[in-house]
Chain A
Amino acid sequence: MNAQMLSLNQLKQIALHREAFIYYIFFFVLFFFAIVLHDTAFLTFSNFMNIVKQTAPLTIMAVGLTFALAVGHIDLSIGSVVALSALVGALLLQHTGIPLAVLGALLVGVTVGLINGLLIERLQVSSLLITLGTMGIITGIARQLTNLESVPIINQDFTFLFGSGKVLGMPILLLWTLVIGGCAYIILKKLAAGRHLLAVGGNPVAARAMGIKVTRIRLYALIASSTAAALAGLLYAGRLHGARYTLGEADLLTVIAAVAIGGTSLFGGRACIVGAILGTWLMGIINNGLILSGFSTNEQMIARGVILVIAVAIGVKEIRNG
């Protein structure tokens, strides 16, 4: 009896948790479309695989951004890193093999993260301003790099690995999402590193007083964020058989919205990887569902906004009522 009470209590606590918010929204929207679109292919396995594949680069970006947000930084440069890394990867593929191309592309991410982090710490300027600046610089470099031309990729191993491949019947893009998401989940929830990350975001003064190397941790978080974006760039390049300077440009706001809906605080200290992934999938589902519903594109835009607002309202209400 007592044990039962306890578990009930625990259940309630879980249900009331801020992070639970995304589950309400996610399943509400899913349910909504499942009913409205019951006579279409919405509720089919292949449709969901489509959504997962489409949102794979976004989920990876969202996971990375969660790290930056966890320490209390915003990283606006991720969209531009996607483009630059994809271009660098595609260009390198014309001269070398996959390992060097991938390394070069990821190095773009590491470097940008490092520069972002060092500038923020040295100049003591908000991450918003610094990454807004680097976003512009990187976008410019990406445009300059190939003079706005797109770079095709013909290496089939690459497009398999980062795009169209399947492993044990599972789309490789889903695998990427699960592996990166899983690693991030473990780091944030199970490892000391994640604890320190959140401590730095929650109260940097206290974290410093307890001997945590705040500056270094913030640097790592920004590197994680832009390196994830670089990986997202490779996934885009693999999926599209080529790179172009516009990749990722439109994704920044979607990713920020997805991460925020997923329960990660935009001001540091609270992070939820599962929420970030469900958040991006939610965006994908809404997009997909609206297209399948046959709305015109203007109507789709309106409906997307309405659904988001309703979903958020319902999620908030559920949490309040417990």
Chain B
Amino acid sequence: MLKIQNLHARVEEKPILKGVQLAVPAGEVHAIMGPNGAGKSTLSYVLSGRGGYEVTEGSASLNGDDLLALEPNERAAKGLFLSFQYPLEIPGVPALTFIRTALNAQRRARGEDEIAAPAFLKLAKEKAAALKIDFEMLKRGLNVGFSGGEKKRMEILQMAMLSPKFLILDETDSGLDIDALKIVSEGVNALRSPERGMLVITHYQRLLDYIKPDKVHVLAAGRIVASGGPELALQLEAEGYDRYVGAAA
């Protein structure tokens, strides 16, 4: 379970998160919606340990481990996976090499054996096929020259290969065409399990038709200002954020 308590964080002296309070039990999917600039991506970066963010107050833990005390790669080895809003391009490192390096690093960190090459390739072929990713693309530099939608699919492939315990999806639906949205959602839903929690950041209620959340939260001006069931997303779609932006200010 992911537990965030009174989390405050700032970037370059500017407070962005101002007391985030959130708990996502294992097995549940929670959605976070909120206006541009509310701090949604900041929250995902602070949880995953990106540099440049200063936590000034509060705590965050995953299954009892204090996330904020760990290096980013250690958080990943504990099972935290962030699907980036803007996935990076890594020239010169084929996707397959990148994923195998990551998988083996995580396994080593957990005291497990490295995965053998044939088993890895078999797994990669199977997962790529499910996401309708051309296997040849995995031999090219990771994300280099890929379209926005292809990059998002590649995020889901990495997620499927690394099989994390907790997923944060930061606007994984943005830039996806209708078919890709379905494929990606199926990829995410395939990972739903009683042990696994998910935090789905999105601007569009439509994604939540495919990935059905247990709870929906509104993040505005650095705080969770409202929480509810899936119906909250429908209401936001109809009414916008006006009332919450006012309340948070």
Instruction: Please determine whether chains A and B interact with each other in the same assembly.
Output: no
